[in-house]
Amino acid sequence: MRTSRLDTLAARSLGPFFVFAGAMHFVLPEKYEAIVPPWAGDAHQIVAFSGVAEIAGGAAAIAGAPRLLTRWWLIALLVAVFPANLYMALNPEEIAGLSIPRWTLWARLPLQGLFIAWVVRGTR
C-alpha cells in the first residue's frame, strides 16, 4: 500500500498528541477529575489511569510499536473516555469551573469519531 502525505502526517502527529494529552492529566488533574461521571468510581484513579494509557499509546505510536496493537489500544481508550465527554455535555452545571457554551460540549462529541479515524489512518 502506498503511503500518502496525509498518512505520514497522521502517523507523525498521533504519538506526540496522545503523549501531550496524557501528560495534561497530571498537570491539570482537577479539570479531568471534574468530568468523570459519579458512577464511574474514584475520579483521581480513573484520571491517572487514563493519563498513563494515553501516554503509553502515544509512546507506542512514536516508537513504532506494532501498529495494529497501537491502533486498538488508542481506539479502546477513546471509546472508554467517551462517557466522560457525554456526562459533561448532559450535566454541565455539575462540572466545577466549566465555563464554555453548552453547544460546544455537544459539538465535541463527534470529535471522538474523528480521533478514531485519525488513529486508524496514523497506524496503517
pLDDT of residue 117: 95
pLDDT of residue 97: 81
Sequence ranges of the domains in the chain: 5-122
pLDDT of residue 85: 94
Report H helices in 34-101.
43-63, 67-90
pLDDT of residue 16: 95
pLDDT in tens, the chain (124 residues): 567 888 788 888 999 999 999 999 999 999 999 999 999 999 999 999 999 999 999 999 999 888 999 999 999 999 999 999 999 999 999 887 888 889 999 999 999 999 999 999 999 8
Rama region for 64: left / alpha / beta (φ>0; ψ in -120 to 50; rest):
left
- The pTM assigned to this predicted structure is 0.90
CA distances from 76 to 5, 37, 54, 79, 82 (A): 26, 18, 11, 5, 10
Those residues with Cβ within 8 angstroms of residue 109's Cβ, 6 or more apart along the chain or in another chain: 82, 85, 86, 89
pLDDT of residue 2: 65
Those residues with Cβ within 8 angstroms of residue 81's Cβ, 6 or more apart along the chain or in another chain: 50, 112
7: Cα separation from own chain's centroid: 20
- Here the cell at position 23 is 501528560
Enter the DSSP assignment of 66: -
pLDDT of residue 59: 95
